[in-house]
Structure 1
Amino acid sequence: MVEPLPEAFASWVDRMAAADLRDLALVLARSGTDTGERVSLDEVLATFGHSRESLAAIPDDE
């Protein structure tokens, strides 16, 4: 019988998966819209409806 993961570990796994998905979204946005011209981080964030300020306002998970 497999025992469930401890809550702290399960929470850590969830946070890592979310961080990986955010990184993947940025990579896909940059590669999927590659026109040969540089795209700034601010332009990518705007595509997702964010700005540097809106991301900074999101509390960090501890």
Structure 2
Amino acid sequence: MNVDTRDLISITEASNKGVSRLVADAEEGRPQVLLRNSKAVAAVVNIDSIDRLQRIDELEDDLRLLSIALVRAAADSGRRFDLDDVLANAGIDPDSLDED
């Protein structure tokens, strides 16, 4: 989302403008970025922008999981080990694992 520098407004200016005007501008596709001490602290955007950001977050999570799965698949030799064999090689008695 591109924000026009004309849409950067101080909180004082936003207060003078009024909530109704801020919301109307956002509905028309003009997000309003609120500044406090020349630092962006909040934004008034339309609901479509929020929906889009949430979907992007979901896709980001999906891509992260996909990349992990692809790395694991690429590094998988196909070789599998039986738990009892691994424990025996480590010198661990499987019955001792049941103790609290």
TM-score (norm 2): 0.31
TM-score (norm 1): 0.48
Structure with max Cα Rg: 2
Q: Which has the higher strand share?
A: 2
